Amino acid sequence: MFENILGMIVAIAGGLTTSVTYEILKSLFRAETEEETIEQRIKRLSSSLVEATSLIDQIEQEIKSRQALAEKLKEDIRIYRKLASLSQVEVEAVAQVLRRELRTESQRSFRKGVLINFVLFMLGAGFSFLLIVVF
């Protein structure tokens, strides 16, 4: 996987180098045919370099995100292999712990939902009362 990413980096760097070289050569040949000022050539070259730098930054960010994903997948594989090697008794124990956690979270969620609904009901009732009193 890392070899593929490294190959992509090399290919993109080669493409960017080729692009910048092309722009430089194009500006040199254009200078011979069109009397372009040095300031104009420097400006075009600078914009090409800025664009190349921007592209390199984007590529680096993409590579970092893919590396993070690869690391996460490696960790997931390690966990799945560990789970696959569990005995029936261990699987039952893990399932029991997960059920308990789900039950506890479900109760918390229910209580929060009831509280939020009560608060919203009271706000609606209070707002209705204010509308009746004011109007």
Compute the average pLDDT of residues 21-41.
71
> Can you give the residue ranges of every domain in the chain?
1-75
Neighbours of 72 (CB within 10 A): 10
- 45-56 per-position pLDDT tens digit: 888 888 888 889
Decide: 43 and 90 in contact? Cβ < 8 Å.
no
- 55-81 per-position pLDDT tens digit: 898 999 999 999 999 999 999 999 888
d(C-alpha 70, C-alpha 73), whole Å: 5
3-class SS letters over 35-77:
CCCHHHHHHHHHHHHHHHHHHHHHHHHHHHHHHHHHHHHHHHH
pTM: 0.39
